[in-house]
Structure 1
C-alpha cells in the first residue's frame, strides 16, 4: 500500500509495519465481523447513524474498521462499531478492515476506549466513563490518560466530574435533554437534591441558557416566605427578571402572530428575543410581518 489508509485516530493505535502489510488491509464480508464485547459506547443516535448510512450508501466506508482475527475465519471488531452499524443499514456486504495482531481483552478495551475518545464519538457521559475505565482498569493517572487521548489534564478532570451527578441527570445529558454546559452548572448544587431538581426542570421547561442556569445556581437557598397567617407564599422573582408567567404570555402571543418558534432569553435586566425561521422564504415572510 502506497500510503496509510487510516486516519490519525486509528492510525495512531497501530505500529507502522501493520499499516503497510497488504494482507492486513482488505475488504471483509460484513457478516464475518463480530461486535466488540468491550465497546464503551452505549448510545447511538438514530438520526446520525442514518445520516452516516446515507453517506456510506453513496460513497462507501472511507475509514477502515480495526479488527483482530477470531476463530473460524471470523473477526472481532476493536474499533469502528458506528461505521459497522451504518454499513449494515446501508445494505453493504463488505467493509474495509485493518487486521491488528491478536489483542487481549484489556488491550482491545483500551484501544476501543482511546479510538472512540479520539474521534469524539462519545457523548459527555460516555466520555467520562471511558476516562474512568482507563484509570480504574489500567491503573492510569489523569495525567497518563490525558497523554494517551491527546487532551489537557484539566479537560479530563472536568469531564470526570459529570459522573458526580445523579443518574437521572446523567441520562438527561446522554439523551440531549440538557447540554454538557448545563450539567456542569448543575454540579454546583449536586448536594442539594430539591434545588437540583427544580433548576433542572426550569432549564428544560423554560429552555434556559447556560448563563441563566448559572444565575439560578448562584442564588442561596432561602426559607420560604410566609404571609400574616403563617402560610407559605410563592417566591417572587428577582426584580431584575421578568416573571415567568409574563414571558410565557408574550411568547404565546408572538408565536400565534408569527407562526414560528419564539423564545425569550433573560440576562438580568437585559435579554434576547429569538425568532426562528426555516428557509429564506420564511425569513422574508417574517421580515414583512415585523416591518408592517
Structure 2
C-alpha cells in the first residue's frame, strides 16, 4: 500500500484555510475585506436611505437575472449598532430585495467599516442609469455632507472637475425647468444640450429648455441661439397620447456611451436585468 505524501507547507496552509470555511484566498492581513455569506433575514435596509420606492417590474427583472446568472457583485453592509450578528445595508438594496424575491435565504456580502453615507452616495453616483439631475443632486449632497470642494468630490467619484461643475450648474436652472427635467418629459434631452442651457443667461433658459424638450435644440444650435439671441418659438404642446416609453432614447444613448468599454460586475448585472425586462415586454408577458 502506497504511503500518503505529506503536502507542501503552502498547500497544507491553504487546505486548512479552505477547511475552516474561508470564503476568500486573500491573505489574512490583506487591506481588502473578506467576502462572506450572510443570511438575508440578518440584513436590514438603512432607515436613512433616501430611496424609498423600488419599481416592482425592475425588481422582478433583477430577480430573474439572479436566478439565471447568480450574484455577480456583493452587497455592502455594516454591523448593526443594536443587534449582534445583524447588519445594515450600505449599498445594494435592490440586489437584496431581488434576492428575497427570488427565494434566496443568503447572499455574498462585504463588511464596510468606513463612512456609510459617503459609500452609498458614491456607489449611486457611479451607476450608469442616473439622470443628470439625479447625479447633480447626489454630488451636491456629498459636497454638503462632507464639506468637499468640486475638485475633491470629482476625485472621489471618478469624474473630471469639468463634469462635476457642469452637473452642479444644472441645479441653478429655474424651478419649473427642474420640475420638468425630473419628469419623463426631460428624459430624452441629451446631457450636452442640458449643460448648454444651464450655462445660458437666466432669461433665455426657459425658452431654450422648451426647445430642447420638443427636440428642436442640440449643442450646436443651443450655442448659436445663445450667441445670436435668436431663439425660435417652441412647438405648441402636442395633443393625443403621450409616448409610453419616453426614456428609450436615454437608455440607447447610455448604452452607446459604454459600448466597447469594460463593464463592472454591477453594471453587467443591471444590464442583464434590463435585458430580461425588455425580453418580457417584447414577449407580451
* Fold-level similarity (TM above 0.5): yes
1:65 corresponds to 2:65: no
Contact 1:64-1:98 within 8 A present in 2 as well = yes
Tell me which of 186, 196, 200 is aligned to 2:205. 196
The reply to whether residue 81 of structure 1 matches residue 90 of structure 2 is no
What is the rounded CA distance, in whole Å, between the counterparts of 1:208 and 1:181 in structure 2? 11
1:26 matched to 2:33? The reply is no
Structure whose CA Rg is larger? 1
| Residue 115 of structure 1, aligned match among 123, 129, 136 | 123
**Can you give the 5+ residue segments of structure 2 that lack an aligned partner in the other structure?**
1-22, 239-285
CA RMSD of aligned residues (A): 3.5
Alpha-carbon distance in 2 for matches of 1:129, 1:51: 27
CA distance in 2, matches of 1:190, 1:85: 45
Q: Deviation at 1:64?
A: 0.6
Give the TM-score, by structure 1 length: 0.58
Q: Distance in 2 between matches of 1:179 and 1:43?
A: 26
1:95 to 2:107 alignment: yes
The alignment partner of 2:171 has SS state of: helix
- Map of 1:165-176 to 2, 5 A cutoff? 165-175=173-183, 176=187
| Conserved? CA contact 1:173–1:179, under 8 Å | no
Q: Identify unmatched segments of 5+ residues in structure 1.
A: 5-14, 223-234, 238-242, 249-292
Alignment length, in residue pairs? Answer: 208
Secondary structure class of the residue paired with 1:76? strand
Report matched runs for 1:6-17 at 5 Å: 16-17=30-31
TM superposition shift of 1:131: 2.0
- Separation of aligned partners in 2, 1:66 and 1:58: 22
**Residues 93-126 of structure 1, C-alpha deviation per residue, up to 9 Å, x if partnerless?**
433211233x5xxx21111112222344533222
Q: Which residue of 2 aligns with 1:152?
A: 160
Go from structure 1 to structure 2 and tell me whether the alpha carbon gap of 1:93 and 1:170 turns closer, same or farther (over 3 Å shift): farther
User: Which residue of the partner structure matches residue 194 of structure 2?
Assistant: 183
Deviation at 1:79, TM superposition (A): 1.2
